[in-house]
Amino acid sequence: MRALLRWDEPLPGRPARVVVAGTSGSGKTTLAARIGRRLGVEHVEIDALFHGPGWTRRPTFLADVEGFTARPGWVTEWQYSSARDLLADRCDLMVWLDPPHATVLRQVTARTLRRRLQREVLWNGNLEPPLRTFLTDRDHIVRWAWRTRYATAERLATLRVRRPDLPVVRLRSRREADSWVAGPLTRTGDGGP
């Protein structure tokens, strides 16, 4: 099994199909978009494929994931149990965004407040639910982020046994992510660009 790569280590080759893993609110989507721009590949926001109007699952979700992952280049987030294996099987790089739990909680809370107070329209016309649902909904995104904070590490441990050849880069902070995107993401250890 490959060792986890640090932010300052070169990749074994230039990636074309990248999945970004992390807890809800860790910054996966932002990082995935940056990676896509840096590599010149499409960023497919997986939440936009999953959520239909009224927060319902879109019936075409898995077909859409199947479709974009068949292309030669893409980057997306590692979410939704029904798609995780497909994404992990088709990617050539996994990026684990793993900031401290306090950072994630601060980020997901600030994002939720901003979206709700500004009535930001999300995927397919959805809005964040009223703030009071934090107290009443066990799956409110802030509560979900806290409750599932160890799930990514567990999933990655299983994946690394199943795909020992897959490079996994672990980024512990925004500073590490910034440095990695600016440098090692496009510099490889194989003499490539």
**In this structure, what CATH number is given to the domain that contains residue 161?**
3.40.50.300
- Predicted local confidence at residue 1, as pLDDT: 79
CA 14, 15, 18 angle in degrees (round to 5)? 160
**Does some domain include residue 9?**
no
- Predicted local confidence at residue 137, as pLDDT: 87
Find the helix or strand (DSSP H, E) in which 33 lies: helix 28-39
Is 118 strand, coil or helix?
coil
Count structural domains, the chain. Answer: 1
160, with CB counted inside 10 A (0-12, 13-18, 19+), is middle
- Predicted local confidence at residue 186, as pLDDT: 86
**Does some domain include residue 89?**
yes
Which range marks the domain in which residue 141 is found?
Answer: 17-182
- Predicted local confidence at residue 2, as pLDDT: 83
**Does some domain include residue 6?**
no
- Predicted local confidence at residue 139, as pLDDT: 87
- Predicted local confidence at residue 35, as pLDDT: 98
- Predicted local confidence at residue 84, as pLDDT: 98
**Does some domain include residue 4?**
no
Residue whose pair of structure tokens reads 């703030």 in the numeric block: 131
| Spans of the chain, pLDDT less than 50 | 191-193
**Does some domain include residue 65?**
yes
**Does some domain include residue 77?**
yes
